[in-house]
């Protein structure tokens, strides 16, 4: 457990038991027949159409898609920063279009948000930035101090209250953004490309913090990103948007294991190595002689388990070589591909339970090149 997580665990246990119990039931979002059309002097843009989607309480839900797919538009309907043109958004079963001003203020306390560029006030200290939502809400001074200290502790920034944002790293600024969002004790946290401005190492630490917060406080997290690696790192379920429509949705392991839509396949491309170049150069389609070795691709889509002992046994005395491997473990499932070369004379007759798909992609006369 990270230091921040340990702090979080302590503060969650000692400070928020009643709230956490209530939160666990709250935090659902439902989109019904949602559409959004922007109208401007340049004409109309249909940003979203026919979105039907349920986000469950306590899950981390990812919205992914290429630039312009409609991710921000969809996310921003959850706290009514955007109003849909058609359809409804229900938060905990309540149609948020019907909220009056007071209801909207209350909604925005229940639905916190963090941003790509953090949106901190540079002339105010970390403490003042985090305290701002509570000051606006008229919370008493002692209570503000207590809750800001608790929130800073929770994100691993205890002792940084007096610092100005310009003295902080990008990762620390995002931690301030998260503390500011959590200080109102929301049941839903919206993350608008929260790690896009951060380096890879800092991205991982912020994603872990979000996962810790989700697990310890039970709050629902909805995030948008254009990077499948972010989805793989922390999401439970994902929806892929393409031109304002749902391309596909499901558990993360399912979407990674068997992406059906070309948009999903394109988004996954950067995470996949193709056939190793030296092998591609020497691969031929048919067996040319008895010494040729079959190159077998085993695909793991979440059902089968790569059992190397069984694979070796089935290859018999012919020998088996591992040429390349790209297996991820996502939500406890094996997802990815193995490339194996069977010894001379062998063909791929592995039973179905050893991989979700097996195919011979060609033959080589020597695996060593
Ligand atoms: N205020 C606006 N006025 C007019 N068109 C808009 C407005 N906001 C978004 N759009 C258009 O709506 C479509 C969806 O935009 P949106 O920002 O929701 O997509 P996105 O997937 O979040 O994109 P990105 O990853 O580039 O931020 C795009 O064609 C965009 O140009």
**Closest residue CA from atom 24 of ligand 1:** 67
pTM for the predicted model, two decimal places: 0.88
Sequential pLDDT tens for the chain (369 residues): 444 444 444 344 334 444 444 444 599 999 999 999 999 888 999 999 999 999 999 999 999 999 999 999 999 999 999 999 999 999 999 999 999 999 999 999 999 999 999 999 999 999 999 999 999 999 999 999 999 999 999 999 999 999 999 999 999 999 999 999 999 999 999 999 999 999 999 999 999 999 999 999 999 999 999 999 999 999 999 999 999 999 999 999 999 999 999 999 999 998 887 788 888 888 888 888 888 888 889 999 998 888 888 888 777 767 788 889 999 999 999 999 999 888 776 665 666 678 898 888 998 887 665
Q: Is the CB of 85 under 6 A from ligand 1?
A: no
CA gap 48, 51 in Å, rounded = 7
267 is written with which tokens? 């988004």
Q: Is the CB of 115 under 6 A from ligand 1?
A: no
Question: Widest CA span of the chain, in angstroms?
Answer: 84
User: What is the distance in A from the centroid of ligand 1 to the CA of 326?
Assistant: 35
Name the strand (E) or helix (H) holding 340.
strand 333-342
Q: Is the CB of 243 under 6 A from ligand 1?
A: no
Name residue 224's beta-bridge partners.
63, 192
**Closest residue CA from atom 12 of ligand 1:** 47
Q: Is the CB of 367 under 6 A from ligand 1?
A: no
**Closest residue CA from atom 31 of ligand 1:** 68
User: What ipTM did this prediction achieve?
Assistant: 0.98
69 Cα nearest atom in ligand 1? 21
Domains of the chain: 3-25+58-79+94-266 (3.40.50.300), 277-364 (3.30.70.260)
> Do 64 and 225 meet the contact criterion of CB atoms below 8 Å apart?
yes
| Residue of 71, 196, 225 to test ligand 1 pocket, by largest number of atoms within 8 Å of CB | 71
215 Cβ contact list (under 8 Å, min separation 6): none
User: What is the distance in A from the centroid of ligand 1 to the CA of 245?
Assistant: 13
User: What is the distance in A from the centroid of ligand 1 to the CA of 141?
Assistant: 40
**Burial level of 368, CB count in 10 A (0-12/13-18/19+)?**
exposed
Q: Is the CB of 22 under 6 A from ligand 1?
A: no
The pLDDT of residue 9? 42
Q: What does the DSSP assignment read for 72-116? A: HHHHHTTTTSS--SEEEEEETTEEGGG--HHHHHHHHHHEEEEET
Q: Is the CB of 14 under 6 A from ligand 1?
A: no
73 Cα nearest atom in ligand 1? 18
pLDDT digits 0-9 by tens, 232-267: 999 999 999 999 999 999 999 999 999 999 999 999
Sign of the four-CA dihedral 127, 130, 136, 142 = negative
User: What is the distance in A from the centroid of ligand 1 to the CA of 337?
Assistant: 36
pLDDT digits 0-9 by tens, 205-236: 999 999 999 999 999 999 999 999 999 999 99
Q: Is the CB of 36 under 6 A from ligand 1?
A: no
Buried b (16+ CB within 10 A) or exposed e, 129-166: bbbbbbeeeebeeeebeebbbbbbbbbbbeebbeeebe
The pLDDT of residue 352? 64
User: What is the distance in A from the centroid of ligand 1 to the CA of 42?
Assistant: 14
The pLDDT of residue 287? 84
């Amino acid at each position: 457990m990270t230091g921040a997580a340990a702090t979080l665990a302590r503060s969650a246990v000692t400070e928020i038991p009643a709230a956490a119990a209530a939160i666990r039931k709250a935090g659902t979002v439902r989109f019904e027949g949602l559409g959004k059309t922007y109208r401007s002097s340049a004409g109309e843009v249909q940003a979203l159409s026919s979105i039907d989607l349920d986000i469950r309480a306590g899950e981390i839900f990812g919205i992914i898609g290429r630039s312009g797919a409609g991710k921000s538009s969809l996310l921003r309907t959850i706290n009514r920063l955007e109003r849909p043109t058609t359809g409804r958004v229900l938060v905990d079963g309540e149609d948020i279009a019907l909220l009056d001003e007071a209801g909207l203020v209350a909604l925005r306390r229940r639905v916190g948000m963090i941003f790509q560029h953090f949106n901190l006030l540079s002339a105010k200290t970390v403490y003042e930035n985090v305290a701002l939502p509570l000051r606006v809400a008229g919370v008493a001074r002692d209570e503000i101090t207590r809750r800001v200290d608790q929130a800073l502790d929770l994100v691993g920034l205890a002792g940084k209250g007096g610092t100005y944002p310009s003295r902080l790293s990008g990762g620390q600024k995002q931690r301030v953004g998260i503390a500011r969002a959590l200080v109102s004790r929301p049941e839903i946290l919206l993350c608008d490309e929260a790690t896009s401005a951060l380096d890879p190492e800092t991205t991982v630490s912020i994603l872990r913090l979000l996962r810790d917060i989700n697990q310890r406080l039970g709050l629902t997290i909805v995030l948008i990103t254009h990077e499948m690696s972010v989805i793989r790192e922390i999401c439970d379920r994902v929806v892929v948007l393409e031109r304002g429509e749902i391309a596909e949705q499901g558990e993360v392991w399912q979407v990674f294991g068997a992406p059906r839509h070309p948009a999903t396949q394109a988004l996954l491309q950067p995470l996949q190595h193709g056939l190793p170049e030296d092998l591609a150069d020497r691969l031929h389609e048919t067996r040319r002689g008895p010494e040729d070795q079959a190159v077998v691709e085993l695909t793991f889509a979440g059902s089968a388990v790569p059992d190397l002992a069984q694979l070796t046994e089935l290859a018999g005395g012919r020998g088996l070589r591992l040429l390349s491997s790209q297996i991820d473990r996502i939500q406890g499932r094996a997802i990815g591909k193995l490339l194996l070369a069977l010894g001379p004379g062998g063909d791929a007759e592995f039973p179905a339970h050893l991989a979700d798909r097996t195919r011979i992609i060609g033959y080589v006369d020597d695996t060593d090149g």
